Structure 1
Amino acid sequence: MKTLIATAALAVLATSAFAGGNFQQGGSGPLKVESVMIGIKSPASNACPANATAKFWIYTNKPGTVSYMTIREGVGASAVKTVQAKKVNGKYVAAVSQQMVIEKKINTRYRVAAKGAGDYMLSNWAPLKANCTIMLGG
C-alpha cells in the first residue's frame, strides 16, 4: 500500500514538473487574429476638403482585446490602438470605422496590421483616391 501511495505521489510531482505549471484557465488558448479586411470609400466628388471613410474588420478565434495599426503605403504605420472583438452572427469580430479628411489630391493605398497573441496579420491593400480639382474655401 505504501508503495502504491509513493508511486502515485511521484507521478503527480513528475507530471507537474514536466508541465511547468503553465496551465491555461478554461483550456481555450490565447486570442488569435484569423483574418483582417479593409475597405475605403473615397470622396464622391472632386471638391475638397472632403471626407473618406475607412472600415475594417478583424476576425478572431474568441472575444478579447486586439491591437491594430493602419499602414499608408510609402508613409508608414500609425500608432498602435486597441479594440474589442465581440461575437457577431456566430463569429468573433472587431469592427472599426475611421473618417479621413482629404484636403489635397491623393492616390495611395492603406492596409491594417492586427494581432492578438503572436505576430501581426495583414489585411488586403485598399485604394484611396481623390482628384480635388475643385478647392473649396474653409
Structure 2
Amino acid sequence: DFFVDYFLDFKPKFLSFHIERATHPLRLIEHIRKAGVSPAVVLNPHTSLSTLEYILSEIDMVLLMSVNPGFGGQSFIRGSLAKIATLRAMIDESGAKCLIEVDGGVSGQNIAELDIAGVDIAVAGSFVFGSNDYAAAIKALKV
C-alpha cells in the first residue's frame, strides 16, 4: 500500500499490488482507479483464487506469478496452468473485464499451453534476455 502513491505519479497504464500484502484491497483499488490508472492484483503461486471472489469485477488485470517471486530464471510451476484455466473460467462466468497476465518461467516451450489456458499477457524476461538471439526468442513466443 505504501508505494502506490509513488508510482501513481508516473501515470502507468496498470498498477498492480500483491493481494497478500494489501490491508484493504477494495480501498486500494478505488484509490488507484481514481488516479486514472487501471488497478491490477498479483497472486503468488500459493495464493488461492478465492481471494479474488469479491474484487474480480473491480480490477482490470490479474497477474498470476508462475514462480515464487524473488529472482529471474526460475522454472515454471506446472500447476499454474490449471490455476490460469480456473481464473479464465471465473472471469468469463462473472462477466468481468479482466486480463490475465503470467510471469515466471515463460518460454517458447510453454507459451502455447499458456495461450490455451487463457493468458492474455506473458512476461518472458529471462527467456528473451538470456538468449543469444533475441529475435529468435521473441519469434518462439508467438502463438
Q: Please give the TM-score of this superposition, normalised by the length of structure 2.
A: 0.21
Q: Please give the TM-score of this superposition, normalised by the length of structure 1.
A: 0.21
- The higher relative CO (CA closer than 8 Å, separation ≥ 6) is in 1
Structure with more strand by fraction: 1
